[in-house]
Amino acid sequence: MIPLPKKHIISLNPYSPGKPIEEVKRELGLKKVIKMASNENPLGPSPLALKAAYRALKKVHLYPESGSYYLCQKLSAALNVRPENICMGNGSNELILLAIHSYASSPEDNIAYGFPSFVIYRIIAHSYGIKTIETGLKNHRIDLEKLADSLTEHTKIVFLCNPNNPMGTMNRGDEVEAFVEKVPSKVLIVMDEAYYEYADKKTFPDLVKASTERKNLIILRTFSKMYGLAGLRVGYAVGNKSIIETLNKARQPFNVNSVAQSAALAALDDCRHVQRTLEINEEGIDYIVSNLREMGLEFVPTSTNFILIKTGDSKKFFDMLLEKGIIVRPMGAYGLNEYIRVTAGLPAENRKFIKNLKIAMTQTGGK
């Protein structure tokens, strides 16, 4: 006899992350590898955050603030909400897990979301044996009417990834507000805004205040993208006090480590890094888009720091680019076998990507 895991863990299809740079160097014997696969910040971490992280290292013999007190205070001031409206997570991933862990339990329960979207919703739900309802897209955007109509009496949570990963598209404020009104009050709405900082604020929904007032809405954001702290794992949820209390009860003590807390605190002051990131991203996306147009390649217009490109046979293009030391993301796991997803990089990285994409296209008999 051996210990047997739960049956839904045995059948779980685990998350397949972007390939790490060191792994590619090792496997292919390459000296220089660039990663454009995980929507990380090509400028690196916020310099202010880095300094704060070094300082915090001297105190790692002590446990961190269990509830990330100072970070909650600072975020609450920045967002104009109360600290009780914020729960910090070990990346926003942990908050997705905590939401499912806390609000869905029985095998009849389901969670709903538009798909393709962030596959973690599916993976975590299935790890708990909870069903998933996946509704399609309309013009590459989440079809909010379809999503609202798909909810059943057993739906516990509806996720809305906005802007949506991997599509890069965004649902406007007026549409999202109408959607929120349509969702029954007993269903928890989780707005996953991991790429919020990149979106056009003129049309992007601003639901922070509503999330503190409504009884069924939370917003998730992260320090992994814009602030360049993906490796430190810090995200947060904003919402009504009672939902936040529930997430706080369910989380582990010390879920955000002390170095991460200090770095995130400092990153919030680093307006220069945010500004430079937005500039380099806009320049990168513009450069990639203008080249794709020139090449006659289809792509999905993006509101984020990544772009979905229709290359045909995405695994093949992934492999060809990998051989040249460029890591992109093949989109098969999202049901998009003909697409690769590419994060905008530094100018030289974008040039290297386009140059090698052109070569790969020629070699495969493409345009």
Ligand X SMILES: Cc1ncc(COP(=O)(O)O)c(C=O)c1O
Chain residues binding ligand X by CB under 6 A are 39, 91-93, 118, 161, 165, 192, 194, 222, 224, 230, 235
Sign of the torsion angle spanned by Cα atoms 293, 294, 296, 297? negative
Distances (CA, A) of 177 to 136, 162, 173: 20, 13, 6
Instruction: Provide, rounded to whole angstroms, the least separation between the CB of residue 91 and ligand X.
Output: 3
By C-beta, is 299 or 334 nearer to ligand X?
334
DSSP character for 133?
E
Instruction: Provide, rounded to whole angstroms, the least separation between the CB of residue 37 and ligand X.
Output: 10
By C-beta, is 179 or 196 nearer to ligand X?
196
Instruction: Provide, rounded to whole angstroms, the least separation between the CB of residue 98 and ligand X.
Output: 12
List of residues 6+ apart from 228 with CB closer than 8 A: 40, 41, 43, 44, 45, 46, 49, 267, 273, 277
Residue nearest to ligand X (CB): 91
Instruction: Provide, rounded to whole angstroms, the least separation between the CB of residue 118 and ligand X.
Output: 4
Instruction: Provide, rounded to whole angstroms, the least separation between the CB of residue 225 and ligand X.
Output: 7
CA 92 from chain center: how many Å? Answer: 8
The answer to whether residues 24 and 242 touch, using CB atoms and an 8 Å cutoff, is: no
Biggest alpha carbon distance in the chain?
62
By C-beta, is 244 or 360 nearer to ligand X?
244
Instruction: Provide, rounded to whole angstroms, the least separation between the CB of residue 86 and ligand X.
Output: 15
By C-beta, is 234 or 354 nearer to ligand X?
234
- Closest residue by Cα to residue 165 from 213, 214, 224, 238: 224
Instruction: Provide, rounded to whole angstroms, the least separation between the CB of residue 19 and ligand X.
Output: 14
The answer to whether residues 238 and 92 touch, using CB atoms and an 8 Å cutoff, is: no
By C-beta, is 162 or 212 nearer to ligand X?
162
By C-beta, is 100 or 361 nearer to ligand X?
100
Residue that has been written with the tokens 């100072």 in this structure: 70
CA distance 254 to 267: 20
Helix axes of 258-267 and 47-57: crossing angle, nearest 10 degrees: 150
Q: What is residue 239's three-state secondary structure?
A: strand
CA distance 358 to 340: 14
By C-beta, is 235 or 330 nearer to ligand X?
235
The answer to whether residues 66 and 258 touch, using CB atoms and an 8 Å cutoff, is: no
